[in-house]
Amino acid sequence: MKDYLKHHEWKIIEDSFHASYNKISESLFSIGNGRFGQRGMFEEKYSGQTMQGSYVAGVYYPDKTRVGWWKNGYPEYFAKVLNAADWKSIHVKVNDDEVDIANCELLLFCRTLDMQTGTLTRTMQIKTKSGVVLDIESQRFCSIANDDTAAIKYSITPVNDNVRIQVSLFIDGNVRNADSNYEEMFWNEVSQTASGNQLMVITETRKTNFRVATGCQWIVAVDEKEVPCKTNHHTASMYAGANIETAILKGQMLTACKYVSIVTSQNYENTELQNACVNSLMWSANKGYFNLMNDNAEAWQHKWDEADIKIEGDVAAQQAIRFNIFQLNQTYTGKDARLNIGPKGFTGEKYGGSTYWDTEAYCIPFYLSTASETVARNLLMYRYKHLPKAIENAAKLGFNNGAALYPMVTMNGEECHNEWEITFEEIHRNGAIAYAIFNYSRYTGDKTYLYDYGLEVLIGISRFWYQRVNWSIEKNKYVMLGVTGPNEYENNVNNNWYTNLLAQWCFQYTIDSLNSLKKIDIVKFKFLLEKISLNETLETDKWKDVIANIYLPEHNKLGIFLQQEGYMDKEQILVKDLPAENKPLNQKWSWDRILRSCFIKQADVLQGIYFFESNFTKEEIKRNFDFYEPRTVHESSLSPCIHAIIAAHIGDTDKAYEMYLRTARLDLNDYNNDTEDGCHTTSMAGTWMSIVEGFGGMRVKDDKLHFNPVLPLQWQGFSFKVRFRQHIIQLTINKNQIILDNITGENISVFIQNKLVTLKQDESTILNLKRKVLEQ
């Protein structure tokens, strides 16, 4: 664990430079606006440890699969979100000394991410090799108010001498992905121009033919007065730059404002890109840096008004939840149904930046409660539009009759993950996509998505489940063989409890939804049957047989659901008995040793209990939690949040708080020693869930909100808002009270601590907080 960042409620602050942690900091200080983003790299040249990264949402390259042994059914490529043109660089020479803090004496340093306004600021004082002392301040943002726009303000002041300064502004499309399988360049040259105070580089992805125009326009001022400067333009393949030279006196401040525009062929015809980029640049420059910054700050304030969580008495916890919410909102805004949420967002390249089941299991609950319903609905539409590809994916593996297997990793609906135990076996992802349809319908009360689109998805998934199970004469049950559950430290297991449970539930939910549609709209129901060639009675009778007879492994003596067959044959060791030097397992142990151990990467049985909590007694939940959590190493970022929610539910508030901090500060403290690769963006939604569903105890049952809050001993109080069916409700918890405010909408009835309460519009309802005690 690393603890080099200053605790602050609204800011991430590195108040002295930690060169060995720089790639971690680049991840943490990333900025974005849902359309594009970049890691928190320095504007100046930096010869130390760095991972340069600028990314454009939805733009990808099908990097040819690289495996040692090709297996039939493998995807031919892995979709990579591309490292795109570098637009942030401002290289500086002072009296011919290049500013590079790896080679200068660093006198002062502070970089700050202001999450309230979405701005990244860095101040430093350096001494060059020739002894010139310089004060440097840079500030930049990616505007969520105008999502084709970014801006940088870069200022330099000589402290002890008059100097000659050369400022190099450029856009460089000669970039590579650090994770390229074959060291390929993913971009082709289209054009580059440099004239006046504008630069532009247009590039096109190989194979996928996405075009991206990246442009900049600048203004140079001395002591805030615009000045003419000697300018030399230069272009090369996928590169456009300008060297600006001037002399300034000791104490004078030279400022370069760099306005940036990024537009793509996703939104413009190729012939329109250049003009669209130029028009955006001229508009930005005319508006001016501070007006752009203020617009961005106002847009962020709107986000915070909707989604902020306030924690009293624990600055580390407060900083952490805001960092997680900030990253989620700058990664995905919901404006474009073609986009989704990559597990690293705009902070790195690992996992390809593509879509995983994380979106459905973790992110949709966050967006349901903090944004317009259309945001979550767009995420569901993303999957519906990929249904034909899901059917193709299943067909490649030998399934038929419209069976759908959604990909583990995708950009366009086609499976592109190339590890056999994931591609072929981690099929529980299908269940998460079905569950998201249920979750959306339950939360919003909107059944139109279910009936118009979702049922087709559910039927495709149910058809897959039916073909994936087989009848075991030995067990006299349906079984599901050769799978990998959420715990990826087990591969090729038989009868993973969670996967079998999801299949059983999915059959029932699909049947119930078909019956519901049949009752309310027989015309639409018959149209659906014809469209997908569903023999209602024949297929649903088969599904009902599986529902009644699927094998769900249990250990009767221990009273637990068994993660999979054979789990108890493993040597049962608890995580607390592992020597510290053995952790993390995925960095210290061989894969063979991990697979033979009892250790669990992330919630598996407990993931199923989380999804279907109301199906189990609290005693059952506690027995399973007490058995599985001590064997869980939490080496997936998705693990701690589920454990925090369940711990809060059973009254183990200390464990819930421990797990909350681990999920909330996973990246800020680099718990898993991998933040340098990028932040764990999708798991950040789990941090929000830990508070709202964990400490807030929020559930939806029978069309009503339920709250059963608990207050960690470390906090004086906390509060959050949720949107629910045209209402915004604020819940505030302190040491003694629960305060509910119905901020918008008509009166609404909710359950508080199992008591039905009517919340009147614009009125506060105050109740005493009951203490929840760990049940022994």
Catalytic positions, written as ranges: 488
Specify whether the CB–CB gap between 363 and 343 falls below 8 A. no
Q: Which three-class secondary structure state does DSSP give residue 712?
A: coil
Residue 212, beta-bridge partner list: 203, 264
How far, in Å, CA of 428 to CA of 424, rounded? Answer: 11
Which stretch of DSSP H or E encloses residue 740? strand 737-744
Buried/exposed code over 139-168 (b: 16+ C-beta within 10 A; e: otherwise): bbbbbbbbbbbbbbbbbbbbeeeebebbbb
Are the C-beta atoms of residues 213 and 277 closer than 8 Å to each other? yes
Instruction: State how far the Cα of 501 lies from the Cα of 495, in Å rounded to an integer.
Output: 10
Contacts of 465 (CB under 8 A, 6+ apart): 430, 503, 506, 507, 546
In sequence order, the β-bridge partners of residue 211 are 204
Which tokens in the block code for residue 281?
A: 């640049």
Among residues 475, 477, 480, 506, the alpha carbon closest in space to that of 493 is found at 480
Cis peptide before 553 (omega within 30 of 0): no
What is the Cα 129 distance to its own chain's centre? 42
Measured CA to CA, the distance from residue 66 to residue 512 in angstroms comes to: 43
Q: Give the integer Cα–Cα distance in Å for 242 and 200.
A: 11
Residues paired with residue 111 on neighbouring β-strands, in sequence order: 14, 122
Residue 507: strand pairing partners: none
Can you give the C-alpha Rg of the chain in angstroms?
Answer: 27
Q: Are 224 and 175 in contact (CB under 8 A)?
A: no
CA distances from 573 to 20, 43, 486 (A): 35, 49, 20
For 77-161, strand residue ranges (E) read: 77-83, 90-94, 97-98, 105-114, 119-127, 133-142, 149-158
Query: Residues 94, 98, 103, 109: is their CA dihedral positive or negative?
Result: positive
Residues listed for the chain: 776
Question: Which pair of tokens denotes residue 187?
Answer: 């971009």
CA angle 663-668-672, nearest 5°?
A: 65
Are residues 408 and 345 in contact, defined by beta-carbon separation less than 8 angstroms? no
Q: Is 308 exposed, middle or buried (0-12, 13-18, 19+ CB in 10 A)?
A: middle
- Residue 749 φ/ψ, nearest 5 degrees: -100, 130
Cα 390–Cα 395–Cα 398 angle in degrees, nearest 5: 140
In angstroms, rounded to a whole number, what is the distance separating the alpha carbons of residues 637 and 674?
Answer: 11
Tokens linked to 709: 């809050």
Contact 215, 199 (CB under 8 A): yes
Phi, psi dihedrals of residue 288, rounded to the nearest 5°: 95, 155
In degrees, rounded to 5, the angle at the alpha carbon of residue 80 between the alpha carbons of residues 78 and 83 is 155
What distances in angstroms separate CA 97 from CA 102, 132, 170, 258, 606, one per listed residue? 13, 9, 19, 23, 58
The answer for residues whose C-beta is within 8 angstroms of residue 425's C-beta and 6 or more apart is 482, 483, 484, 491, 492
- In whole angstroms, what is the distance from residue 84 CA to residue 211 CA? 11
Q: Which amino acid is at 157?
A: T
